[in-house]
Structure 1
């Protein structure tokens, strides 16, 4: 969800000021800890007399357990509401799963959408949320991807940043000064240095599992076709809205994108047979990669902190983020943006919609909900009023640092034609790594498919 260009830079930088005191909102919570929050519009009195079941279909596997716990907390003070949560994500295609869910007739009451393209695709199923209390609390720019003709159709999940997450301890023991990595040339030099030290066995005693500099999850086409690709296209489009309106893509930085992909592949554990990277999934990259110090760098975002922390808290606290440099463009920055939004099904019953809206408002505006957002989900809040609840995890603080320094580029991939990033570019990157097509063929096909699908 990058550039120091207009919309995201202005919007997201303000996000992280974290200084505006937020007016907490809740509709049915009456417990002592939430007494300072102002009430949101309550569900009808009839809703209080009936048990309402809310089905949530969400993509963020990293918060699956914590979201369940938050739902149980909500139910404690809203005994007339039962929340059912289904999580589909990680290695699965959430977009395809969501379409299948609706086609099955088992429509969720709350579901996730991306930016402008998803909003267009799902607007006939999306409730107008413009009257919700959190709308006026949204950080500047946070609602841009979910707003059509002045109407707000979704609540932003959070603010996220991604880049090359690295293990500071490994870098220090290899004698590499990460603060000097500010462009592609310095990143490549660091990778070469670390690769030599790993292969020589110099780091073996302290890091017995360390086998490669990078691990690249090419099986996950969202990693390649959305996130890696975004580093190049965010230098071409100012924001996701510009990408959404574009009839064609030029790939001005195709060479820089190729170099970034090659760097990860050439210094991975599959360097001698790059096609094997097409079998590397999220778990292999994160849980079985950086979390156990089998590799030193991965392309991921601050959302991995909780998972790594569950495996090894010391490793989690040793993580930081390096820039994702595209040669010839803005090289010292990381992509920062809104990853996804919460939508409410406009065809759910009035009681279901009232409860769904109330749950989302409670989650993001009550004292209990805000604690979950920051301290259990490890989210960077998309709303004002989280003073005293700034991120304390290593990766959340790293993202905040980049924002404060103005070293961000936007997320534009939610403006891609539906399916283009993952199904076209992500698949072509797999073919390129497997030596089935040339890079030039991959770029040519991607250009043609953009225009065709748009």
Structure 2
């Protein structure tokens, strides 16, 4: 009996220990595996403000997910500028800020600096073009990856210019006025005007006199901050109102109720010959009217071609990472950003699908990839005929107030002088 019982007890004990161990290991392994899956599976929340590339960005992140199945993306696309800023503030207020978002830089970089991850050590920094990192560089540290280079001016329909007998492209204000007259005489509406959009007026439009003034004197914007300079009575701001009047006189009906989609559609359909926009509309034109023959001319304020024959070119926004995001999310976001501007898949998508002018020297931009608008901007850049974007230096909140004043001018409610006074008052009120 004792001899038989001992093996039985030992066997039962061994079985119990084995089962206990198995249960224990199963539980531990299950928890560990679950934790590992949770740890490895990363969802990157992205907030971005370019409606034009919403589909392309989704396709690019889907491609990345195929190569990196542990990473998925939750992308929210909102409007540019103030719409983007409003969405960003709302997400931070909700306690669920995005892991990645886009920033215009300069003033926005200063405003959001305490929320941004330092990206100075990232491999793409050394490949950026000179100046491309400037909007997101504070005290020598880089807080954002430039999305691309963009430019704007008046985009023109080459076929309609030819129909109107315009053989020399306008480079000065008087030449632009003459071109508008020729177009109208040929039964063509010269301008597609979308002044329902605050950013078309306050940022891109008003940037033109700012760029002229700031180029003539680097003290102009600092002078606005110190109270030593004014927009009222400044010759370039006076000239801008002449350009604004020209677009309204020779533009489509109801400019104050014409939105972005409407003005682009009018232009794409050949209903108008020119539109104040940038190369970011190339994907939209390709969808609406494939192979449309288009190009850029400047938004001239004066009759001096050395001054007026320039496009407005800069880094429109940069990708930034929320520094308080989970470490796994930050690591994955950094890896994605590096892949996007270094891998053949990422760089091909940026040029061919996004039609982006790359902000990095290692990415080749072919004319057939970035489209005629991007190629025109490259030619202006190579010739050194560009102005930078000064609207990113506006005080926080100024753009919407500027737009309201300009829309009041267009509707005839206030005079040019009253509008300029309003612009100065807004700057003085919001400056820091």
Q: TM-score, normalised by structure 2?
A: 0.86
Aligned counterpart, 1:149:
139
Q: Is the 8 A contact 1:220 1:282 kept in 2?
A: yes
Q: Is the 8 A contact 1:47 1:351 kept in 2?
A: no
Aligned counterpart, 2:32:
none
Aligned counterpart, 1:217:
194
Q: Helix, strand or coil for the counterpart of 2:69?
A: coil
Aligned counterpart, 1:20:
none
Residue 362 of structure 2 is aligned with which of 385, 391, 394? Answer: 385
Structure label with greater radius of gyration: 2
Aligned counterpart, 2:172:
183
Structure with more helix by fraction = 2
Aligned length: 387
CA distance in 1, matches of 2:79, 2:365: 31
Indicate whether 1:125 and 2:115 are aligned: yes
Larger CA deviation: 114-123 vs 324-333 = 324-333
Indicate whether 1:292 and 2:269 are aligned: yes
- Deviation of 1:49 after TM superposition, in Å, equals 5.5
Aligned counterpart, 1:263:
246
Aligned counterpart, 2:27:
none
Aligned counterpart, 1:358:
335
CA distance in 2, matches of 1:319, 1:384: 26
Aligned counterpart, 2:85:
95
Unaligned runs of 5+ in 2: 1-35
- Deviation of 1:398 after TM superposition, in Å, equals 0.8
CA distance in 2, matches of 1:119, 1:242: 21
Q: Helix, strand or coil for the counterpart of 2:247?
A: helix
Which structure 1 residue ranges, 4+ long, deviate > 2 Å from structure 2? 46-49, 241-246, 248-252, 387-392
Q: Is the 8 A contact 1:59 1:88 kept in 2?
A: yes
- Deviation of 1:238 after TM superposition, in Å, equals 4.0
- Deviation of 1:314 after TM superposition, in Å, equals 2.9
Q: Is the 8 A contact 2:137 2:143 kept in 1?
A: yes
- Deviation of 1:145 after TM superposition, in Å, equals 1.1
CA distance in 1, matches of 2:256, 2:81: 12
Indicate whether 1:411 and 2:385 are aligned: no
Residue 55 of structure 1 is aligned with which of 41, 45, 62? Answer: 45
Aligned counterpart, 2:420:
443
Q: Is the 8 A contact 1:138 1:383 kept in 2?
A: yes
- Deviation of 1:178 after TM superposition, in Å, equals 3.9
Q: Is the 8 A contact 2:119 2:144 kept in 1?
A: yes
CA distance in 2, matches of 1:92, 1:453: 15
Aligned residue runs from structure 1 range 154-169, under 5 A: 154-169=144-159
CA distance in 1, matches of 2:85, 2:221: 17
CA distance in 2, matches of 1:389, 1:337: 19
Q: TM-score, normalised by structure 1?
A: 0.82
RMSD: 2.1
Q: Helix, strand or coil for the counterpart of 2:123?
A: coil
Deviations 1:253-294 (A, max 9, x none): 111110111111000122xxxxx311111101102x111111
Indicate whether 1:69 and 2:59 are aligned: yes
Unaligned runs of 5+ in 1: 1-45, 199-209, 271-275
> Comparing both chains, which one has the higher relative contact order based on Cα–Cα distances under 8 Å and sequence gaps of 6 or more?
1
Q: Is the 8 A contact 2:154 2:277 kept in 1?
A: yes
Residue 313 of structure 2 is aligned with which of 333, 336, 339? Answer: 336
